[in-house]
Amino acid sequence: MATKVAAAKDSAVPAAAVEPPLLVELVALAHRRLTSGLAAALAEEDCTVDQWRVLRALADGEGRAMGELAQALLIPQASLSRLVDALADGGLVHRRQGDHDRRRITAHLSRQGRTRLSRLDALAAAHDAAVRTACGLPDPTGPLTRLATL
């Protein structure tokens, strides 16, 4: 019996032979954990992470065409349309037709949306600060910022 156990140990893959996780695996895992924590924080205001991202993208007051917004946020156009519909139904966003091209529709943050975004940003900032402290991360400029622009 002891010989079978010893033989099984010898045939097992040595711990040193296990490959370390790839960067893409670590980033994917970190993304999922960060997003789930942020989602829980934003849920206090009955908001999803993607809704918050749309509001933030519109915060500059310039308005964005739907295609441009979808591309910037890496959200499929159909999903973005549903998100903007929900935000518009809640009075947080409004749509405007273009002056020169009536087919061009831009989304804009409403006054109510700007107020709501302030509360959401405060929750997100608190979550961000807690994660940075727990991980000992410095300011956002650095490897993660460079990685996000690849």
Neighbours of 138 (CB within 10 A): 10
Pairing of strands 64-65, 105-109: antiparallel
What fold, for 48-137?
Arc Repressor Mutant, subunit A (1.10.10)
Structure tokens at 12: 């097992």
Structure tokens at 121: 């940003």
- pLDDT tens digits along 7-32: 555 555 555 568 888 988 988 898 89
Q: Which mean pLDDT values do the consecutive 10-residue runs of the chain (150 residues) have?
A: 53 66 88 92 94 96 92 94 95 88 88 96 94 79 74
Distance CA 49, CA 41 (A): 9
